[in-house]
Structure 1
Amino acid sequence: MLIENGQYNIGDICTSRQCRLGRGDRVAMRWLTPGMERRDYTFNELDGLSGRFANVLASLGVGAGEVFFTYLPKQPEQFVAFLGALKLTAVAGTLFSNFGEEALLDRLADARACGIITKKSLLRKIIRIRPQLPDLRFIILVDSDDHQADGIFSYSRLMAEASPAFVTPLTPADAPSVLHYTSGSTGKPKGVLHRHGAVTMINSTAQLVLGLREDDVYWCTADQGWVTGTSYGIIGPWSMGVTQVHFGGGYAAEQWFEILEREEVSVWYTAPTALRMLMREEPLLFARFDLGMLRHICSVGEPLNPEVIHWARRVLAKEVYDTWFQTETGAIMIANRPGIPVKPGSMGKPVDGIEAVVISTEGELLGSGQQGDLCLKPGWASMFSSYLNNAGAYASKFRNGFYCTGDVAYRDTDGYFWFVGRSDDVINTAGHLISPFEIESALIEVHEVAEAGVIGAPDELLYEKVVAFVSLHLGYALTDELQLKIRLHLANKLSSVATPHEIHCLERIPKNKSGKIMRRYLKATYLGQDAGDISTMEE
C-alpha cells in the first residue's frame, strides 16, 4: 500500500518509506559521470542527504508552500535538492540549465521564488537579474567551498552543518508539490502546479505502463527540467524502490549502448528524437552489444513514427511503447504498453481510470474515425491544480465538463487513439485536414531523409499549403531529383493533397528538450514572425 497513515509526501515516499520497507541498502541511484565513472547511492544515503537538505532549507527560513528552484544540469545534487524541498513541503521547481536570463526572470519572478540552487558557471545569469527578483532571498552553489556575500551559500558547508535526521510533516494529497513551466506560442510561460497526491497516479503508471518491477534497473534519459524527468525520472521509480541509472553526459550512441549493456538496464524510457538519431547509426554498431536484460523501450515527447517501431523490432529485436501525457496531466494518460497489441503510429489506449474522448469545436462528442479535440474527464490524481497566478488560463482549459488538451486526435474502432497534431498545427489545404505528423512519418521513410518537420503556410488559393523541412543524412543534398522522389513517395504513401508545395533543407530540425518538433518556430521563421518563447529549444 503506497499511502500509509495519510502520508502523501512525495519526498518521504521516495526515500524514507523505502528505508522503512527494508530497502535502505538497495541502490537507489547509479550515477554515471560523462566519463562513465560510477557512484552508487543507496536509499539510506538518499534519505539522509535529502533530509539534510530539508534541514538546510528550514534553516534558511523556507516555509511550506514557498517555491524553491533547482537550476542545474543532471547531477546528484539535483535529486537531493528536489526531494529535500518536497520533504519540507516547499514547492519544488526545476529549470533547464541552458535557460538564459529572460527565461529565468519570467519563471523566478512569476513564482516569487524564495531560493535557488545552481553552480558557479550559471551564477552570473542570476546575479544580473537578481535586482528584479525581490523575493529571491538566497542562492546555493553546489561547487563553492565557502559562503559568499549577499545570501550566496556553499552547498557543501550547509550540508555539513545540517543533520540527516528529518521528520517529514504529514502531508495531505492536495498540498502543492512540483512546479513546471510550459512555453506557449504567445505570452509568458505558464506555471503548472501539481500536488503531492499525484504520486499515486505516477506510481501506478510506472508499474502498468512502463512495466516496472521492484527488482528492475531503469534508465530515463529525460532532463529533470521536464515533467518526464520528475514524474518518471524521480517519482515513479523511487516510489517503487526501483534502482535508477542517471547519466551526466549527452547523446552518444556507443556510450548509451554501453550503459544499457554494462548496467543491465531492463526498462529504458527515452525520446523519439534519440531513437531517430539511433536510426542514423550503422546497424553493425548495435550488434556489438548484449541487450539481453532489456525487456522493452518506452518513448515520450513526440508521437513515434511507425518506422521507428519497425526499426527497433528489426535492428534491436525490442518493442517500443509510445506514451502520451502533458505537463498538465502529470502522468501518462494514453499509451501503447505491455499487455495490449502495439499499433505502430498510434498513441495507444487510455490507461485505467482515464476517460478520453474526441470533441468537436461545437462541443459534440465524436465517433470513431472523426477528428476533433482530444479531451479528458477531470479527476485523475495527477491532474494539475492550477496555472500559477493565472486563473483565467486554467479555466480556459476546461469545456463541457472536460479538460481540453489542445491536441487533435481521433479514436479508431478498437479504442486506440491517433495523434493528428496540435490544434494549431493541423493543416487545412483546399478543405482537406492534413496531419503534419503523418507527412513527417512518411518523409523519414525516404532513405536520404533523417528528420522532418511540416507546417501549413497561408496560401491565397488553397488557404494553407504544405511546407516541409528536412534534415538529410550525411553525404546527401536536396537536389531536384531528390525533391521529385520525396513528392512521388508522399503522393503514393498518403495522397497528392499531402505533397509539399515547398521543401527546405535544414542542418537540423528544431525541437524542445522533450523531443517535440517546434513547428510553431518553423512556421514563425518561415513567415518572418516572432516565434514567442523558445527557452526550451534544444541548442
Structure 2
Amino acid sequence: MHADFEWDLPETYNLAESAHKTGEARNLTALVHRDDHGRAHRFTYAELDDAASALGAQLREAGLEPGDRIALCFPQSPELLVAHLATYRIGCLAVPLSVLLGQESLAHSLEHSNASALLADATVYDQIEEPVAAADLPTELVVDLEAEAYDGPNRHLGAFAHRVSSDRSSEIVATKPDEPAIIVYTSGTSGTPKGVVQRHQYLIGTLPGYQCWFHCFGDEHRERVWTPAEWAWAGSLFDAVFPTLACGGTVVSSVRRSGFDPADALALLERFDVSRSFMPSTAMWQIREETEPSAGDLDALEVVMCGGEKLPEPVKEWAERELAIVVNEAYGQTEANAMIGDCQVLYESKPDSMGRIYPGHECAILDEDLEPVEPGSVGQIALERSDPVLFAGYLGDKEATEECYDGGWYLTGDLARLDEDGYVTFAGRADNLIISSGYRVSPTAVEAALCRAPTVANAAVGGVSDEERGQRIVAYVLLETDVETPAEANEETTLEDDLRQHVRDRLGPHKTPHEIEVLEDPPRTRTGKLDRATLFPS
C-alpha cells in the first residue's frame, strides 16, 4: 500500500478548486444545510461555485488583494463555506475564528494575523465587536444568515441568496500548491496561541487519510458527510468539509448556538441520511451516555471517524455493536494532519491503537538520536519534512518553527509505540499539553489567565484522566492575602464560579478549568515553585 505511492502535485492548485466542478458534476448536491429554524437548504456545486465567484468579486471591489488575510467568524453555514472558497479564490488567506473564542483570544488572533478584513455573521457580531474595534481592521463585512436585519455601522453584504443571483464573478487565482492558504490559531506549549500557516497542498496531503478512514476509494463514493465540530479548526475543515467537496460528495451543515446535543445529532444524522461522520471522541461518548439509539435509527450511517483524543474501547465496541457502523480512529495535528489511522476495509483495528501510518506519509517513531525505536519502545512521532501535509510555519515566529524540526524530520511532540505489525499506540505528550474534548490546551495559558484575577496569587494547571473528555482541566490556586472572596461577601456566586468565568471570558469555554481547588498550604519545590509533580502525579 505504501511502496507504490508517489505524490504527484500539480504545478498550480487552489483550495477553491475543491468546489469548482465541470460538466454534469456541477449539478450534484454540494451542501445541505439545516438553519436555525430546522429548515433544509440544498446547494449544488454550481450554486456554491457561483456564490464564491460573486463574493470574490465583491471582496476585490472592497480593495482586497492576493496575500491579504481575511478573518471569518460564523457558525456552520453556507455563508462560511462560501467565504472560505471566495477567500482562496482571489488568492487571500483565510483566518477562521471560533464563535466560542474569548475576547483576549479573538483580539490576539485578529491583531497577530494582521487581518485586512473580517467577514462575520450578524448574529455573533455583538459578542466580537469590542476586539474587532480594537483591531482597527481596514474592512469589516457583516453577513446575515437569513434576512437583511443588520443595522450596524459596517459594510453589509446582505443575505446569501443575493450573492447567488449576483452578476459579479471572479476567476480562481492560479496559486502554487505550496503557497499559504489558511492561518489556524491553536495553543502552543508556551501558552500563546500560534498562527499555523497551512498551504493549498494541505488538502492534497490529507486525501489519502480521508479515503482510508471513510473507506472512500473510487469515483462511486459520493458520501454525505457531517461533523459537529465548528468549522474553525483544521480537523473539521480538512478531515470533513474540503475533502468531501474534492471527492464530489455532499457536506451537511447545521447552525449550532450552544453545546453539543447528542439527541439532536442523532436526529440530524437520520434526517439527512449522513453516511460518514467525523465525530470528536467526546461527542461519541456523549451519544452513548445520553441517548438510546439503535442501528435502525441510522440506516445510512456506515463509517464514523473519531479523533481529538483516544476513544475508550468500550465506547467503540458499543458503537460498532449497537449502531452497526465501523468506527475508525485517526491521528493528526493542525501542523501535520492525517498521518496515522484505521482503515478497517484494508486492515483490522487493534484495541488501544491509533492505527497504521497512512499511504504517502514517511512517518517514524524516533528516539532522541533520531533513530527508529525498537518495536514496543516509546519514541516521538516524526514526519519527513517534505510531506505535503506539513505546515509552512508559525506566523511571525521563525524560532518556534525551527524548533519543530531536527534534520529532515518534523517532530510532533507526541510520544508513541510502534509494534511489529506497524500499529501505533499513543503514549502521551513530550510536553505537558492537555488534550480535553479534542482541544489542545496549554496549562501555561490557563495559569496566566487565572493569575490575572485579583484574588489569585499563583496557579498550577494540569490534565487529569477523564473517561468522557480524555482529560479534564484541573486548576489549583493560591489566593492573595486579605482579599474578600464572594462567599465572605455573602454573594450568590462562589469563588470557583468567578474564576471559571474569568478564564472563560479571556480564553473561551474549551480552556476553562472543569475543577478549581484553593490551596492553603501548597506543595512546593526546593526553589519555592508550586510542585506540579506532586499536584499532578503521572
Tell me, yes or no, whether TM beats 0.5: yes
Q: Does 1:163 align with 2:167?
A: yes
Alignment check: 8 A CA contact 2:310 2:470 kept: no
Alignment check: 8 A CA contact 1:49 1:164 kept: no
- Summarize the alignment of residues 524-539 of structure 1 with structure 2, pairs less than 5 Å apart: none
Alignment check: 8 A CA contact 1:190 1:388 kept: yes
Shift of 1:130: 4.4
Shift of 1:411: 0.8
Shift of 1:96: 0.3
SS at match of 2:293: helix
Q: Does 1:210 align with 2:214?
A: yes
Identity of aligned residues (%): 24
How many residues are treated as equivalent by the alignment?
451
Shift of 1:120: 3.3
Q: Does 1:222 align with 2:229?
A: yes
Q: 1:418 to 1:168 in 2, by over 3 A?
A: same
* CA–CA distance in structure 2, aligned partners of residues 524 and 393 of structure 1: 31
- Summarize the alignment of residues 501-512 of structure 1 with structure 2, pairs less than 5 Å apart: none
Alignment check: 8 A CA contact 2:69 2:116 kept: yes
Which of 382, 392, 404 is residue 385 of structure 1 equivalent to? 392
Partner of 1:368: 375
- Summarize the alignment of residues 211-290 of structure 1 with structure 2, pairs less than 5 Å apart: 211-212=215-216, 214-249=221-256, 251-282=260-291, 285-287=292-294, 289-290=296-297
Partner of 1:201: 205
Farther off after superposition, 104-113 or 337-346: 337-346
Which of 296, 300, 322 is residue 315 of structure 1 equivalent to? 322
Shift of 1:198: 2.0
Q: 1:404 to 1:526 in 2, by over 3 A?
A: farther
Partner of 1:186: 190
* CA–CA distance in structure 1, aligned partners of residues 311 and 356 of structure 2: 15
Q: Does 1:153 align with 2:162?
A: no
Alignment check: 8 A CA contact 1:71 1:117 kept: yes
* CA–CA distance in structure 1, aligned partners of residues 228 and 474 of structure 2: 32
* CA–CA distance in structure 2, aligned partners of residues 215 and 377 of structure 1: 32
Alignment check: 8 A CA contact 2:56 2:169 kept: no
Which of 312, 325, 337 is residue 343 of structure 2 equivalent to? 337
Letter in 1 for 2:138: R
Partner of 1:141: 142
Q: 1:160 to 1:326 in 2, by over 3 A?
A: closer
Q: Does 1:176 align with 2:199?
A: no
Q: CA RMSD in A?
A: 3.5
Q: 1:77 to 1:301 in 2, by over 3 A?
A: same
Letter in 2 for 1:153: H
Alignment check: 8 A CA contact 1:301 1:324 kept: yes
* CA–CA distance in structure 2, aligned partners of residues 161 and 268 of structure 1: 32
Letter in 2 for 1:169: V
SS at match of 1:286: coil
SS at match of 2:25: coil
Partner of 1:346: 353
Q: Which runs of 5+ in 1 are unaligned?
A: 428-437, 445-449, 459-506, 531-539
Farther off after superposition, 170-179 or 82-91: 170-179
Shift of 1:263: 2.0
Alignment check: 8 A CA contact 2:377 2:417 kept: yes
Alignment check: 8 A CA contact 1:147 1:154 kept: no
Q: Which runs of 5+ in 2 are unaligned?
A: 1-6, 435-462, 477-499, 523-528, 531-538
Q: Does 1:453 align with 2:471?
A: yes
Alignment check: 8 A CA contact 1:358 1:365 kept: yes
Shift of 1:88: 0.5
Letter in 1 for 2:280: A
Shift of 1:127: 3.8
* CA–CA distance in structure 2, aligned partners of residues 307 and 322 of structure 1: 14
Alignment check: 8 A CA contact 2:475 2:516 kept: no
Alignment check: 8 A CA contact 1:258 1:289 kept: no
SS at match of 1:30: strand
Alignment check: 8 A CA contact 1:305 1:344 kept: no
Shift of 1:451: 5.7
Partner of 1:423: 430
Q: 1:214 to 1:439 in 2, by over 3 A?
A: same
Letter in 2 for 1:224: W
Alignment check: 8 A CA contact 1:257 1:289 kept: no
Partner of 1:481: none
Q: 1:108 to 1:259 in 2, by over 3 A?
A: same
Letter in 2 for 1:138: T
Alignment check: 8 A CA contact 1:217 1:265 kept: yes
TM-score (norm 1): 0.76
Letter in 1 for 2:272: E
* CA–CA distance in structure 2, aligned partners of residues 420 and 348 of structure 1: 13
TM-score (norm 2): 0.76
* CA–CA distance in structure 1, aligned partners of residues 190 and 9 of structure 2: 43
